[in-house]
């Protein structure tokens, strides 16, 4: 008592059992075509099976285009889309520090390479800033996971394409070079599935674009879906203005949340955050309460260093969907850095109750417990964080935080060992070098401290702490020239630091006396 | 991820290795018991039809014998079960079962026994239709506005809609532009059928239009379709949603406006009767099934959406009101009023797990695995800590990531430049056009405190200077031993060097505890060559082609201190003129002015070599 094979395949597809669906369709396709029911009509079982298999293969590797956004070095440095070389404050993502940010200063909240405060939720583009020089660009970690920079985004897509070849050991299911795109473009029911296959499975943007262009012509430019797909192709190829045109035209025809999100992505890539914000707000008028739009607004505010607005919008997100992990994490970290660890603790506990179980959460929990003076939970949280750490960078982070806790309780030996362990796990941890230098200074090992501070400042020139510490150290030793240069660097990194300014004043007085 | 678990009220596993999908679950009062209580009807792809009436003694109970009212093995796979008024002449509910080539309508009736487990249930076949084409799914409703009767519309795998008016077959129509079947539903308000086609559009066809369109059963069906004569099936409205849909549902509750709900693969739409979007929500998970149901808040509709992460979300329009964890991925979800509990959520997984649950704050019991931590015994800890710290101290002496200061160096290399030039010049192959090219001896000493394996000494000077021998290889050195070598430096090329410094580099391997083969290390030192190597004192001349003036903010130091080997100490201490003749031929004169704080340098050719050499000394 078997099921009809096409029905069975269709049922598997609905239940997302793509491997079985694809295998069954392959069997159907191997049957000689004379077994169909109506040889002359437009519909054939062969086409149906082909279309189903195409969709199954695509769904196996489908990733939502809205999320993927990792800029390679080539995109960042050779960006020809710059609108204004010197943007007004608050209108550009490249100069985040100049906006009217109402957030904690770098003295309280650590900053990333580009001067933005560390966010509570690592997304593909939060690590990247807009590095000034090529050297900085190479050093900046670009992916959320590793510190290895990607050279160009398109290279990664090609690798995704080769990964998908594993699904078909006998060779590609559809041979793109022999495909008559014009013929397929005339049949929308086949063309749409084929387009997604070429775009997501084969990662062949050029062919996909050809197909989409032919198909949208055939549809007399009345089908918004094809415009969106063309826009996606243009975005992948880096033709942002053309992509913007396509998305706008699609949006005029039919309001869709996805189109709004794609268009906003284009604006962000063109460094037009205010336009993207307006777009989101218009979208919210049309689709009130749409979580992805509110979340998009919050992310942009965070990138522009406007933490208070970002926090407001994240709270809105939680009103709509209180299981939204990103919003909870970001609000939690905001509270932590505004000196409210107890409230932050509540947010992180909520995440724990929801079933998030990883090293980062326990690390944050440990820190919140410590600063909220719940000392019983601190060490066990950190223990669990160490247990769950998946790679050395996470372990290094946990040890670094443990070092801070040790400094807080006054056990400098423990702090020393913790920072050493941080360095063992991650040799480029600038903050750990800085802290070790401070500890060495206390012990009186000036040479060691100096070497460590120099390492720290060369690893992370955007941080003001190593420069400031080096300035203080040199001044103590009497090397005023070096102290002055270091103090200037510290001031550059963090202009609002009162201690640096005092030190500079002192040094200037000293020099004037000479 | 969710905070809470759906509380299990009643659950069971159906059969073994049976398969189920969306249409296999139905809840209705199928046996017309009149009490308004629903029964759960499940049909599997293996052909088993089961009817349940769960009434657990306490929540969480499993299947009792009395819960299963009926279990029948029909010979063919069951694609869909529906309950409606399918039999003419009566308004009672009957059960319609869809197979691949057959539609059967049954009447379910029960005779009550004296005690509960004496109840008997039977099904009786009322009528059946044989289908010409393989069926996929079906919908039912009062087509054409009839009252008190339900007709059935079946969609076939190749795109034909077959309409049955209870016991008789009405007509069949082909859907235009068909490739793969999508969900199908009937809207009573607009008397139309709504489906989602392979072109990713929601299409609505009026029943009247269907009735009057070209008949699909006529002989010349294929030619007519090709020639497109006769009344083609015209769609009432179309909405391009850009994705395939899993399910469609039409709701018309009293408080809420009639709407069409479409569950797409990534979005969830609510449409008005004319096809415009009322609201939509982007889903960030893969949905599997949904059901809209009545909401307590006026003007809104609640929807249950199940997804492939085993969660069930409750939405009020687009706001998430509740999220709960299910034990399985639901392929079908319904809301039922069962015997002991109203508003029960019934979910069916594709492997046959049927569960009736209610919402509660049962936390998902997630047992975090135990971390290997030991019991706290402070004395033991203290002793262990002391020992570990001792080990660390020992280790940091030899291997540490922090840089070590000079005095702890294991191997030191020093270079001594002899103060006088060689008596006999050791210059070889010098290109300098002078009678005698001087050379100076440099003695390099290597002192080591530890074992140094295969030490290699390299001496580098910048061209045009050269050394007699620049590479030395030694045997392994014992700890606290030293080695000395002697070499000479002279001017080889015919131009002036830009600096008079040289560097000695020693590279060696030293074994440590962890690496007995030895880790590579390097030691180096610089040495400075005398100016006499490249020039001789000469008569000062005031006439020259170029003049450089160096201003100082202090009075100039006498030349005796700067150039001790050029000035005869017997001469006047206040000598302020000095002349240099380079081996390469150029001449330079230095004049120190007594009155103004400046020094003049006269060169006859502005070559960088002489200037920088002298400049270095002056510095």
Q: What is the mean pLDDT of chain A?
A: 82
Does residue B519 sit in the same domain as residue B607? no
CATH number of residue A382's parent domain: 1.25.40.10
Residue A459 domain boundaries: 366-513
> Which residues are within 8 A (CB) of B575 and not within 5 positions of it... i.e. 6 or more apart?
B558, B559, B560, B567
Say which of B246, B282, B323 has its CB closest to residue A258.
B282
pLDDT one-digit tens code per residue, A105-152: 666 677 665 555 666 666 655 444 445 556 555 555 444 444 344 444
Contact A51 B372 (CB under 8 A): no
| Backbone phi and psi for residue B39, each to the nearest 5 degrees, phi listed first | -115, 155
Residue B458 CB: number of other CB atoms within 10 A?
15
pLDDT one-digit tens code per residue, A257-291: 999 999 999 999 898 999 999 999 999 999 998 99
pLDDT of B597 > 50? The answer is yes
> Which residues are within 8 A (CB) of A278 and not within 5 positions of it... i.e. 6 or more apart?
none
What's the DSSP call for residue B528? E
Q: Of all helices (H) and strands (E), which one includes residue B589?
A: strand B587-592
B548 in Cβ contact with B603 (< 8 Å):
yes
A420, closest residue in chain B (CA to CA):
B401
Question: What sign has the CA pseudo-torsion B592, B595, B598, B600?
Answer: negative
Taking alpha carbons only, the member of B198, B201, B199, B193 closest to residue B233 is B193
pLDDT of residue A41: 46
pLDDT of residue B305: 95
pLDDT of residue B610: 61
> Which residues are within 8 A (CB) of A254 and not within 5 positions of it... i.e. 6 or more apart?
A224, B240
Mean pLDDT of A388-416: 92
pLDDT of B260 > 60? The answer is yes
B319 neighbourhood in chain A, CB within 8 Å: 289, 319-321
CATH number of residue B502's parent domain: 2.60.40.10
Say which of B3, B267, B405 has its CB closest to residue A447.
B405
> Which residues are within 8 A (CB) of A244 and not within 5 positions of it... i.e. 6 or more apart?
A231, A263, A266, A267, A270
Q: Is B1 on the interface with A (CB under 8 A)?
A: yes
A434 in Cβ contact with A453 (< 8 Å):
yes
> Which residues are within 8 A (CB) of A387 and not within 5 positions of it... i.e. 6 or more apart?
B371, B372
Instruction: Give the rounded distance of the alpha carbon of A126 from its chain centre.
Output: 5
What residues does B49 pair with on adjacent strands? B43, B72
Please report the DSSP string for A347-359 in residue order: HHHHHHHHT--SH
Residue B507 domain boundaries: 408-532
pLDDT of residue A164: 46
Question: What sign has the CA pseudo-torsion B56, B61, B64, B67?
Answer: positive
pLDDT range class, residue B550, cuts 50, 70, 90 = confident
What is the spatial distance between Cα B476 and Cα B456, in angstroms, rounded to a whole number?
10
Does residue B430 sit in the same domain as residue B514? yes
pLDDT of A198 > 60? The answer is yes
pLDDT one-digit tens code per residue, B113-139: 777 677 788 899 999 999 999 999 999
Does residue B308 sit in the same domain as residue B414? no
Q: Is B75 on the interface with A (CB under 8 A)?
A: yes
Alpha helices in B43-86 (DSSP H): none
Alpha carbon separation from B542 to A356, B603, B614 (Å, rounded): 86, 10, 17
Residue A106: exposed, middle, or buried by beta-carbon count in 10 A (0-12, 13-18, 19+)?
Answer: buried
What residues does B301 pair with on adjacent strands? B294
In a domain, B496, yes or no: yes
The better pLDDT of the pair A36, B165 is held by: B165
pLDDT of residue A192: 92
Q: Is B177 on the interface with A (CB under 8 A)?
A: yes
Percent of chain A residues topping a pLDDT of 70:
77
The better pLDDT of the pair A301, B493 is held by: A301
What residues does B491 pair with on adjacent strands? B465
pLDDT one-digit tens code per residue, A210-267: 999 999 999 999 999 999 999 999 999 989 999 999 999 999 999 899 999 999 999 9
The better pLDDT of the pair B492, B347 is held by: B347
In a domain, A46, yes or no: yes
B47, closest residue in chain A (CA to CA):
A1
pLDDT of residue A153: 46
Instruction: Give me the number of domains chain A comprises.
Output: 2
Residue B381: exposed, middle, or buried by beta-carbon count in 10 A (0-12, 13-18, 19+)?
Answer: exposed
pLDDT of residue B498: 83
In a domain, B566, yes or no: yes
Determine the residue among B371, B396, B409 to mutate to test chain A binding: the one whose Cβ has the most chain A Cβ atoms within 10 Å: B371
pLDDT of residue B342: 87
Please report the DSSP string for B260-319 in residue order: EEEEESSEEEEE-TTS-EEEEEE-SS-EEEEEEEE-SSTT-EEEEEEETTSEEEEEETTE
Does residue B22 sit in the same domain as residue B135? yes
Percent of chain A residues topping a pLDDT of 90:
48
In a domain, A210, yes or no: no
Nearest C-alpha of chain A: how many angstroms from B381?
A: 14
pLDDT of B39 > 80? The answer is yes
What is the spatial distance between Cα B39 and Cα B26, in angstroms, rounded to a whole number?
8
In a domain, A295, yes or no: no
What residues does A368 pair with on adjacent strands? none
Mean pLDDT of A483-510: 90
pLDDT range class, residue A99, cuts 50, 70, 90 = very low
pLDDT range class, residue B205, cuts 50, 70, 90 = very high
Q: Among B482, B499, B532, where does a domain finish?
A: B532
- Report how many Cβ contacts below 8 Å link chain A to chain B: 160
The better pLDDT of the pair B433, B303 is held by: B303
Does residue B33 sit in the same domain as residue B156? yes
B280 neighbourhood in chain A, CB within 8 Å: 256-257, 287, 290
Name which of A176-185, A395-404, B203-212 the model is least confident about.
A176-185
In a domain, A129, yes or no: no
Whether omega for the bond prior to residue B8 falls within 30 degrees of 0, making it cis, is no
What is the spatial distance between Cα B452 and Cα A205, in angstroms, rounded to a whole number?
60
Taking alpha carbons only, the member of B63, B21, B62 closest to residue B43 is B21
Taking alpha carbons only, the member of B490, B615, B520 closest to residue B563 is B615
pLDDT of B501 > 80? The answer is yes
A444 in Cβ contact with A411 (< 8 Å):
no
Contact A452 B402 (CB under 8 A): yes
pLDDT one-digit tens code per residue, B437-472: 888 888 998 888 888 888 889 999 887 888 888 898
Sequence-ordered strand ranges (E) for B14-67 = 25-28, 39-43, 48-52
Mean pLDDT of A336-360: 89
In a domain, A472, yes or no: yes
Does residue B422 sit in the same domain as residue B342? no
Contact A1 B75 (CB under 8 A): yes
Instruction: Give the rounded distance of the alpha carbon of B151 from its chain centre.
Output: 50
Say which of B136, B288, B403 has its CB closest to residue A451.
B403
What is the spatial distance between Cα A175 and Cα A160, in angstroms, rounded to a whole number?
18
pLDDT range class, residue A101, cuts 50, 70, 90 = very low
Q: Among A11, A32, A60, where does a domain finish?
A: A60
What residues does B104 pair with on adjacent strands? B97, B128
Distance, first Cα to last Cα, chain B: 72
Residue B419: exposed, middle, or buried by beta-carbon count in 10 A (0-12, 13-18, 19+)?
Answer: exposed
Does residue B508 sit in the same domain as residue B550? no
What is the spatial distance between Cα A21 and Cα A26, in angstroms, rounded to a whole number?
9
What is the spatial distance between Cα A263 and Cα A247, in angstroms, rounded to a whole number?
6
Contact B371 A290 (CB under 8 A): no
pLDDT range class, residue A462, cuts 50, 70, 90 = confident
pLDDT of residue A463: 86
pLDDT of residue A211: 93
Structure-token pair, residue A407: 């400094």
pLDDT of residue B221: 47
| Backbone phi and psi for residue A433, each to the nearest 5 degrees, phi listed first | -60, -45
pLDDT of B315 > 90? The answer is yes
Question: What sign has the CA pseudo-torsion A205, A207, A211, A217?
Answer: positive
What is the spatial distance between Cα B97 and Cα B41, in angstroms, rounded to a whole number?
10
pLDDT of residue A165: 46
In a domain, B377, yes or no: no
What is the spatial distance between Cα A79 and Cα A318, in angstroms, rounded to a whole number?
36
Taking alpha carbons only, the member of A194, A37, A188, A192 closest to residue B160 is A37
In a domain, A325, yes or no: no
Does residue B487 sit in the same domain as residue B589? no
In a domain, A168, yes or no: no
pLDDT one-digit tens code per residue, B167-187: 899 999 988 888 899 999 999
In a domain, B125, yes or no: yes
A222, closest residue in chain B (CA to CA):
B240
What is the spatial distance between Cα B486 and Cα B492, in angstroms, rounded to a whole number?
18
The better pLDDT of the pair A379, B219 is held by: A379
A227, closest residue in chain B (CA to CA):
B242
What is the spatial distance between Cα B432 and Cα B69, in angstroms, rounded to a whole number?
116
Does residue B602 sit in the same domain as residue B487? no
Taking alpha carbons only, the member of B149, B69, B145 closest to residue B105 is B149
Q: Among A13, A41, A60, where does a domain finish?
A: A60
Q: Is B403 on the interface with A (CB under 8 A)?
A: yes
What is the spatial distance between Cα B203 and Cα B189, in angstroms, rounded to a whole number?
16
HSE, CB side, 13 Å, CA atoms: give it for residue B316: 11
In a domain, B400, yes or no: no
Structure-token pair, residue A385: 């964080």
What is the spatial distance between Cα B338 and Cα B116, in angstroms, rounded to a whole number?
17
pLDDT of residue B219: 39
In a domain, B387, yes or no: no
Reduced to 3 states (helix: H, G, I; strand: E, B; else coil), residue B93 is coil
pLDDT of residue B571: 58
pLDDT range class, residue B224, cuts 50, 70, 90 = very low
| Backbone phi and psi for residue A462, each to the nearest 5 degrees, phi listed first | -85, -10
pLDDT range class, residue A2, cuts 50, 70, 90 = low
Q: Among A37, A60, A83, where does a domain finish?
A: A60
pLDDT of residue A145: 44
pLDDT of residue B602: 76
Reduced to 3 states (helix: H, G, I; strand: E, B; else coil), residue A455 is helix
Q: Is B227 on the interface with A (CB under 8 A)?
A: no
Name which of A422-426, A493-497, B75-79 the model is least confident about.
A493-497
Name which of A492-496, B230-234, B387-391 the model is least confident about.
B230-234
Q: What is the mean pLDDT of chain B?
A: 83
pLDDT of residue A423: 93
B546 in Cβ contact with B587 (< 8 Å):
no
The better pLDDT of the pair A99, A64 is held by: A64
Does residue B505 sit in the same domain as residue B559? no
pLDDT range class, residue B397, cuts 50, 70, 90 = confident
In a domain, A370, yes or no: yes
pLDDT range class, residue A36, cuts 50, 70, 90 = very low
What residues does B452 pair with on adjacent strands? B477
Instruction: Give me the number of domains chain B comprises.
Output: 3
pLDDT of residue A405: 94
Mean pLDDT of A344-366: 89
Nearest C-alpha of chain A: how many angstroms from B98?
A: 13
What's the DSSP call for residue A123? -
């Amino acid at each position: 008592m078997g099921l009809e094979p096409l029905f069975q395949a269709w049922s598997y597809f609905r239940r997302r059992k793509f491997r079985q669906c694809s295998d069954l369709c392959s069997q159907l396709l191997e049957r000689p075509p004379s077994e169909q029911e109506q040889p002359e009509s437009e519909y054939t079982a062969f086409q149906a099976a082909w279309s189903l298999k195409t969709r199954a293969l695509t769904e196996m590797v489908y990733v939502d285009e809205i999320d993927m956004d990792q800029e390679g070095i080539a995109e960042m440095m050779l960006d020809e889309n710059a609108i204004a070389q010197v943007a007004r404050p608050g209108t550009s993502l490249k100069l985040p520090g100049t906006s009217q940010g109402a957030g904690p200063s770098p003295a309280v909240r650590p900053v990333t390479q580009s001067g933005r405060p560390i966010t509570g939720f690592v997304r593909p583009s939060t690590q990247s800033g807009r590095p000034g020089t090529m050297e900085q660009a190479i050093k900046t970690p670009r992916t959320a996971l590793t510190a290895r920079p990607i050279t160009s985004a398109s290279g990664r897509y090609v690798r995704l394409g080769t990964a998908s070849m594993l699904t078909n050991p006998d060779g590609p299911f559809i041979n793109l070079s022999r495909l008559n795109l014009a013929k397929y473009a005339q049949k929308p029911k086949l063309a749409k599935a084929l387009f997604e296959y070429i775009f997501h499975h084969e990662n062949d943007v050029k062919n996909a674009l050809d197909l989409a262009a032919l198909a949208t012509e055939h549809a007399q430019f009345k089908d918004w879906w094809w415009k969106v797909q063309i826009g996606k192709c243009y975005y992948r190829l880096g033709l942002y203005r053309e992509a913007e045109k396509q998305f706008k035209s699609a949006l005029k025809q039919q309001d869709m949340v996805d189109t709004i999100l794609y268009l906003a992505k284009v604006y962000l890539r063109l460094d037009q955050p205010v336009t993207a914000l307006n777009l989101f707000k218009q979208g919210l008028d049309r689709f009130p309460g749409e979580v992805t739009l509110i979340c998009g607004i919050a992310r942009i505010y965070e990138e522009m260093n406007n933490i208070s607005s970002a926090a407001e919008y994240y709270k809105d997100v939680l009103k709509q969907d209180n299981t939204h992990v990103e919003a909870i994490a970001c609000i939690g970290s905001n509270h932590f850095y505004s000196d409210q660890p107890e409230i932050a603790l509540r947010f992180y506990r909520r995440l724990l109750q929801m079933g998030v179980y990883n090293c980062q959460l326990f690390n944050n929990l440990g820190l919140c417990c410590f600063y909220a003076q719940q000392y019983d939970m601190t060490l066990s949280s950190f223990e669990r964080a160490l247990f769950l750490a998946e790679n050395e960078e996470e372990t290094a982070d946990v040890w670094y935080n443990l070092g801070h806790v040790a400094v807080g309780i006054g056990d400098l030996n423990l702090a020393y060992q913790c920072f050493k362990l941080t360095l063992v796990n991650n040799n480029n941890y600038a903050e750990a070098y800085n802290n070790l230098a401070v500890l060495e200074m206390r012990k009186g090992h000036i040479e060691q401290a100096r070497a460590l501070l120099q390492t720290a400042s060369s690893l992370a020139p955007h941080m003001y702490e190593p420069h400031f510490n080096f300035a203080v150290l040199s001044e103590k030793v009497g090397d005023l020239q070096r102290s002055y240069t270091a103090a200037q660097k510290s001031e550059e990194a963090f202009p609002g630091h009162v201690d640096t300014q005092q030190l500079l004043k002192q040094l200037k007085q000293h020099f004037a006396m000479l | 991820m969710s905070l809470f678990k759906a509380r299990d009220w009643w659950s069971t596993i159906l059969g073994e290795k049976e398969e189920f999908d969306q249409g296999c679950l139905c809840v209705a009062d199928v046996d017309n018991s009149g009490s308004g209580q629903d029964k759960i009807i499940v049909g599997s792809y293996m052909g088993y039809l089961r009817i349940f009436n769960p009434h657990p003694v306490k929540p969480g109970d499993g299947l009792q014998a009395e819960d299963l009212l009926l279990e029948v093995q029909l010979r063919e796979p069951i694609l869909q079960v529906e309950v409606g008024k399918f039999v003419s002449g009566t308004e009672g509910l009957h059960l319609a079962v869809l197979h691949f080539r057959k539609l059967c309508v049954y009447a379910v009736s029960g005779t009550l026994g004296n005690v509960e487990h004496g109840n008997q249930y039977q099904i009786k076949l009322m009528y059946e239709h044989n289908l010409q084409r393989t069926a996929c799914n079906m919908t039912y409703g009062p087509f054409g506005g009839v009252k008190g009767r339900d007709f059935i519309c079946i969609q076939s795998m190749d795109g034909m809609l077959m309409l049955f008016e209870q016991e008789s077959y009405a007509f069949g129509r082909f859907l235009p532009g068909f490739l793969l079947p999508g969900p199908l539903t009937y809207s009573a308000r607009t008397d139309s059928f709504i489906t989602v086609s392979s072109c990713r559009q929601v299409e609505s066809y009026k029943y009247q239009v269907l009735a009057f369109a070209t008949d699909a059963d006529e002989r010349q069906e294929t030619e007519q379709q090709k020639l497109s004569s006769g009344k083609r099936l015209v769609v009432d409205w179309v909405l391009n949603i850009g994705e395939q849909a899993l399910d469609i549902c039409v709701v018309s509750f009293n408080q809420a406006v009639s709407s069409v709900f479409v569950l797409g693969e990534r979005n969830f739409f609510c449409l008005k009767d004319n096809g415009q979007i009322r609201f939509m929500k982007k889903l960030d998970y893969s949905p599997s099934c949904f059901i809209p149901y009545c909401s307590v808040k006026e003007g809104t509709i609640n929807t249950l959406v199940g997804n492939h992460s085993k969660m069930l979300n409750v939405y009020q329009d687009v706001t998430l009101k509740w999220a709960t964890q299910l034990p399985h991925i639901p392929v079908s979800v319904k809301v039922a009023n069962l015997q002991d509990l109203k508003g029960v959520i019934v979910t069916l997984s594709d492997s046959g797990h049927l569960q009736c649950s209610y919402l509660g704050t049962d936390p998902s019991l997630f047992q975090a695995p135990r971390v290997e931590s030991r019991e706290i015994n402070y004395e033991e800890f203290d002793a262990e800590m002391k020992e570990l710290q001792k080990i660390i101290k020992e280790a940091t002496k030899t291997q540490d990531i922090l840089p070590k200061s000079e005095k702890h160096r294991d191997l030191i290399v020093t270079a001594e430049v002899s103060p006088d030039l060689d008596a006999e010049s050791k210059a070889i192959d010098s290109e300098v056009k002078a009678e005698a090219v001087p050379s100076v001896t440099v003695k390099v000493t290597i002192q080591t405190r530890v074992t140094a394996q295969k030490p290699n000494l390299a001496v580098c000077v910048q061209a045009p200077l050269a050394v007699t021998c620049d590479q030395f290889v030694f045997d392994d050195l014992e700890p606290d031993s030293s080695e000395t070598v002697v070499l000479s430096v002279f001017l080889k090329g015919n131009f002036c060097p830009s600096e008079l410094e040289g560097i000695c580099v020693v590279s060696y391997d030293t074994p440590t505890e962890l690496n007995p083969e030895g880790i590579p290390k390097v030691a180096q030192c610089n040495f400075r060559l005398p100016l006499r190597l490249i020039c001789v004192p000469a008569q000062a001349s005031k006439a020259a082609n170029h003049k450089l003036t160096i201003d100082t903010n202090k009075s100039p130091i006498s030349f005796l201190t700067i150039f001790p080997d050029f000035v005869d100490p017997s001469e006047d201490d206040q000598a302020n003129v000095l002349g240099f003749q380079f081996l390469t031929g150029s001449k330079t004169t230095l004049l120190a002015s007594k009155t103004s704080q400046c020094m003049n340098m006269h060169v006859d050719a502005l070559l960088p070599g002489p200037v920088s050499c002298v400049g270095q000394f002056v510095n």
